[in-house]
């Protein structure tokens, strides 16, 4: 997934990773192999089905990635995705952020510095009126 941009190939790979990421014994292997970083490279893709699969996979893996370093870019992308109009995107994004900031002071600090709390509160306010 790191090298390709062909949507159907990326979507198929993300579907496979989504299935594999459910198994507790696969999670650490995928995370240690750089799965979080590889998946995050495609969060800005225009294909909604691809982004949804990636977010579901990241949510599945994120509880194992709380001690991972170099997730700053991923956290930045997730905060941007919180402002999406798509309910699935916002729900999965919030789940990933919740897991990545749980028991991780560094990730919490990064999210705060990137105004993640303000974005989250703004989104909550918007959804009250829908």
> What are 27-76's pLDDT values in tens digits?
999 999 999 999 999 999 999 999 999 999 999 999 999 888 889 999 99
What's the fold here for domain 7-128? 1.25.10
> What are 3-15's pLDDT values in tens digits?
668 899 999 999 9
Instruction: Give me the sign of the Cα torsion angle 84, 24, 19, 3.
Output: positive
Q: Are 22 and 16 in contact (CB under 8 A)?
A: no
Can you tell me whether residue 2 is helix, strand or coil?
A: coil
Residue extents of the structural domains in the chain: 7-128
Q: Is 96 left (phi over 0), alpha (psi -120 to 50) or beta?
A: alpha
Q: Is the pTM of this model over 0.85?
A: yes
**Which of the four pLDDT bands, split at 50, 70 and 90, describes residue 119?**
confident
Question: CA 6, CA 63: separation in Å to the nearest integer?
Answer: 29
């Amino acid at each position: 997934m790191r090298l390709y941009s062909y949507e159907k190939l990326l979507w198929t790979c993300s579907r496979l990773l989504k299935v594999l990421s459910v198994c507790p014994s696969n999670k650490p292997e995928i995370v240690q192999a750089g799965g979080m970083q590889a998946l995050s490279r495609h969060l800005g893709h225009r294909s909604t089905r691809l982004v949804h699969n990636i977010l579901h996979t990241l949510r599945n893996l994120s509880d194992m990635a709380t001690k991972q370093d170099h997730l700053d870019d991923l956290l930045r992308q997730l905060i941007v995705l919180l402002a999406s109009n798509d309910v699935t995107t916002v729900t999965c994004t919030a789940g990933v952020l919740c897991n990545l900031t749980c028991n991780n002071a560094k990730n919490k600090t990064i999210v705060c510095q990137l105004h993640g709390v303000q974005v989250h509160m703004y989104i909550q306010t918007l959804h009250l009126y829908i």
